[in-house]
């Protein structure tokens, strides 16, 4: 298990939108800035999954993953010994640094806009790659705090007409829970109707947009500052 000697934050942004237009980026920036004021920047790592996409996994990744599964639980530090060709070497070279970043972080912060009822492809590519068999042994993420900033142009929360269209929040909750993140350390913070100020047909929902953004801001402030 990774031994952490100082507070560390891994920030992942997946919005393809311009930083000035992206609500998820605005909120992850708020969290990161407040966290940095408290802990400094030495333990801060930012990965922009839209600007520098993680390559999709290939057949070589799948073959290497199955080989690891057949062997049982193989620590990430020992997977290289299972590599048999240049393609697998490349896949593991792309994968190990991402896994290492997660294991080294006290807090993982994700900015996740809703695209077509689910998560952006840039985030899904990261998820597919870090989910290498045995990468996170049981208990390795039990104390890791995961803060997911969810932004969506409409409203999909409980009780809304489009609640059943939300394949974003349930997916992320199930994924990180299955990865071993404790329920009390998994925080999904939601801002809805983020397009109300730009799309005329949604203008009547500006109140909901303002309210959920204010709630998200307050929650993230408390999480970042420890209050």
Beta pairing partners, 149 = 111, 189
Establish whether 22 is an annotated binding residue.
yes
Q: What are residue 113's DSSP bridge partners?
A: 151
116 is an annotated ligand-binding site residue: yes
CA 5 to chain centre: 23
Beta strands in the chain (DSSP E): 9-13, 44-48, 107-113, 145-151, 186-191
Residue 219 CA to residue 148 CA, distance in Å, equals 11
- Does 193 appear as a known binding residue? no
Tell me the β-bridge partners of 147: 109, 187
Q: From CA 174, how far away is CA 50, in angstroms rounded?
A: 23
- Annotation-wise, does 117 bind a ligand? yes
Q: Enumerate the known binding-site residues for FMN.
A: 15, 22-24, 114-117
Q: Enumerate the known binding-site residues.
A: 15, 22-24, 114-117
């Amino acid at each position: 298990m990774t031994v952490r000697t100082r507070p560390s934050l891994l920030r992942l942004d997946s919005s393809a939108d311009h930083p000035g237009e992206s609500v998820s980026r605005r909120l992850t920036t708020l969290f990161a800035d407040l966290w940095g004021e408290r802990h400094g920047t030495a333990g801060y790592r930012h990965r922009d999954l839209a600007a520098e996409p993680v390559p999709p996994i290939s057949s070589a990744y799948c073959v290497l993953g199955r080989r690891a599964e057949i062997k049982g639980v193989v620590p990430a530090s020992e997977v290289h010994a299972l590599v048999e060709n240049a393609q697998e070497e490349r896949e593991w070279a792309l994968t190990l640094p991402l896994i290492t970043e997660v294991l080294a972080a006290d807090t993982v912060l994700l900015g996740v806009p809703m695209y077509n009822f689910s998560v952006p492809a840039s985030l899904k590519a990261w998820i597919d790659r870090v989910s290498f068999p045995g990468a996170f042994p049981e208990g390795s993420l039990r104390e890791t705090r995961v803060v997911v900033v969810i932004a969506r142009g409409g409203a999909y929360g409980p009780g809304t007409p489009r609640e059943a269209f939300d394949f974003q929040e349930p997916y992320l909750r199930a994924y990180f829970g299955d990865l071993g993140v404790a329920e009390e350390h998994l925080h999904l913070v939601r801002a809805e109707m983020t397009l109300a100020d730009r799309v005329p047909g949604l203008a009547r929902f500006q109140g909901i947009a303002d309210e959920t953004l204010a709630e998200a801001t307050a929650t993230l402030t408390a999480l970042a500052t420890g209050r």
